[in-house]
Amino acid sequence: MQLTALERDMLDGKYGEGVALAMKIQVGVGRAFDATKMAPITRAHVALSAQDADLWFVETLLNKGARCVISPTVNPSIDIHYLNEHLFDVPQAGIDIVSATNEAYKKIGATLTFNCTPYLQQNVPSFGEVVAFSESSATPYVNSVIGARSNRESSQSALCAAVTGRVPEYGLLLDENRKGEILVEVKADVKDDFDYQLLGWCYPLKYKGLEIPVFEGIKERPTPEGFMNFGAQLNTSGAVSMYHIVGITPEAPTLEEAFGGNKVKERITITNKDLDMVRESICGEPGKIDFAMFGCPHLTLSQVATIAKILDGKKLAVDLWVLTSSLTKELAGRMGYLQIIQRAGGHIIADTCIDVPPCWQPYYGKTGITDSPKCAYYNEIRNIKFIIRPLEECIEAAIKGEVSR
Amino acid sequence: MKELNTYKCRMISEGKAEGEVIISEDAICFYLVEPETGIVVEKNHSLKGKSIADKVLIMPSGKGSSVVQADGLYKLAKHNNAPKAMIIEYPDPVLVSSAIVLEVPLVDRVEPGFYENIKDGDLVKVDADNELLAKL
């Protein structure tokens, strides 16, 4: 790799051991992917997880003197205070690791947004901007919907990028690697945000490769929530960092431009039957539920409004948790949605993830309902079973305490 | 003239190590390896029930999100049960950053002939710094 004098100095330790370690990791990644140089970044997002390795890594960089030159936004952690007050006494080990993680990220210079949808608020790149975003729903969104450029960073490599202010130039940073190779003909009816959960989960089941898919046949522009759901599921069911939707996403005004001269390597068709098959295999049978959980990825204000509208004047039969950013929670309060949800017996919790152990321990072994296949998938390991339905049906079920269809 | 039983490779994470080979047909997610023993516990995995602790691990690639993959390798390393070195075919950013951080030598692009000449239990020296593998 050709490094500039400054980058060479970083690697050689002239800016401290922490910067040198970050640069060493990035040069290693660059070497692995045949990058010829580094490219400056203007934004970063780190998938903080408050797990052992996450804390260890940020503390290692910190103790070696590293500080971020690009302040990254970070993924959710846990609002321990809120859980203690409303759910259970969070075990001391959990409190310790979460507090230490938050403190370390603050010290290294991260912006403590604790939100997994930075591309909708707080850290929104523009077209063509080179960024380092880790987090499975974020990478496809910034690449595909916005046209910014990020590789599928790991939480570690994204933090290194925030420290050095650059990334190795390879993969999706280069024009020639952003073109489609797989043609996906969508013959299914894709009408609402929930249909994008199913479509996103479905595609990787039909094609395993990592080439960029081009979706054709989607007539209407998805909502921001539709795009958010689509990317989250594509990158959980599979490893899709970028896709095109012909006539809709910015680098695919036409089929020709989406492929950019590439041959169609494989042609996939997705029909209503395929989506029904996904529905049957992951959504679960009707039955009693113990709780409802939403926010994987964090819900937007418009989704919170949808929930509030259905809950207005009603009482919930089971616990209901809406996970979102502190900003969205603040706005929900301002708009009266928070009060409606609380009067019905539900919660809006900020800064928190569905997947940070041990914060949802009281639900281990229970059955919940959610609108997100990703939420269901990551909780399998903790023996929480989820029935999956569209958001509106989930709320109706939480009022009744059971899923009727 | 090529020395018998030595093969060129490409260094990704530096270092040198010698150890017994274990070959995995499948990609490995270190989250599904028991930290206290180094035994693979993933359902339907070709190494299920076998230990990768202190071995020279040969596998196609890593798999899993950055959170779980890094956490898995970290926990193995803390229990002194990480592989001594790794020889892979397909690198990904998660495995590369984890290996460099935890100082596990990692190489890829091994010269043809190596894979045919190697089996479980063989002793191998991985010299990532000089980009060489040797069957001992």
pLDDT value of residue A357? 76
Give the separation between CA B32 and CA B16, rounded to whole angstroms.
26
Mean model confidence pLDDT for chain B: 91
In this prediction, residues A275-279 reach a mean pLDDT of 97
**B chain contacts of residue A29, beta-carbon cutoff 8 Å:** 93, 96-97
Condensed to tens digits (0 to 9), the pLDDT of residues A253-265 reads 999 999 999 999 9
DSSP state of B61: -
pLDDT at A132 over 50: yes
Provide the 10 A C-beta neighbour count for residue A171: 19
Of A47, A136, A156, the CB nearest to B98: A156
Interface contact A134-B70, CB threshold 8 A = no
Q: Average of pLDDT values for B101-130?
A: 95
- A157 contact residues in B (CB cutoff 8 A): 66, 93-94, 96-97
Mean pLDDT of all residues belonging to chain A = 96
Distance from CA of A133 to the nearest CA of B (A): 12
Q: What is the ipTM score, two decimals?
A: 0.86
Distance CA A262, CA A278 (A): 30
Query: In sequence order, which residues have a C-beta less than 8 Å from that of residue A28 and are 6 or more positions away?
Result: B12, B13, B96, B97, B99, B100
Q: Catalytic residue numbers of B? A: 65
In b/e form, how buried is each residue of A75-111, taking b as 16+ CB within 10 angstroms?
bbbbbbebbeeebeebeeebeebbeebbebbeebbbb
**What share of chain A has pLDDT > 90, as a percent?**
91
The pLDDT assigned to B61 comes to 87
> pLDDT category, A201, cuts 50, 70, 90?
very high
Question: Hunting for tokens 């993830």 — which residue is that?
Answer: A353
- Answer yes or no: is pLDDT of B54 > 60: yes
The 3-state DSSP class for residue B59 equals strand
Is A25 within 8 Å of B70 when comparing Cβ atoms? no
What are the pLDDT digits (tens) for A308-361? Answer: 999 999 999 999 999 999 999 999 999 999 999 999 999 999 999 998 877 899
Within 8 A of B100 by CB-CB distance, chain A residues are 24-25, 28
Question: Which of the residue ranges A19-23, B4-8, B41-45, B59-63 would you say has the lowest mean pLDDT?
Answer: B41-45
Query: What is d(CA A209, CA A352) in angstroms, rounded to the nearest whole number?
Result: 32
Taking the CA atoms of residue A27, residue A33, residue A34 and residue A36 in that order, the dihedral angle to the nearest 10 degrees is -50
Q: Which residue has the tokens 């249909």?
A: A195
**DSSP letter, residue B24:** -
Instruction: Please give the interface size between A and B, counted as residue pairs whose CB atoms are below 8 Å apart.
Output: 79
Distance (Å) of CA A61 to CA A35, A55, A57, A270, A376: 24, 10, 6, 46, 33
- Which residue on chain A is closest to B71 by alpha carbon? A53
pLDDT-based confidence at B2, cuts 50/70/90? low
Residue B1 has pLDDT above 60, yes or no: no
Q: What is the mean pLDDT of residues A1-11?
A: 97
At residue B94, does pLDDT exceed 90?
no
Residue A346 token pair:
């539900």
Q: Which of A24, A151, A153 sits opposite B100 (nearest CB)?
A: A24
pLDDT tens digits for range A147-170: 999 998 989 999 999 999 999 999
Report residue A382: phi and psi, to 5°: -100, 15
Q: Do B97 and A157 touch (CB under 8 A)?
A: yes
Are residues B71 and A29, on separate chains, in Cβ contact within 8 Å? no
Share of chain A above pLDDT 70, in %: 100
Encoded tokens for A101: 């993680």
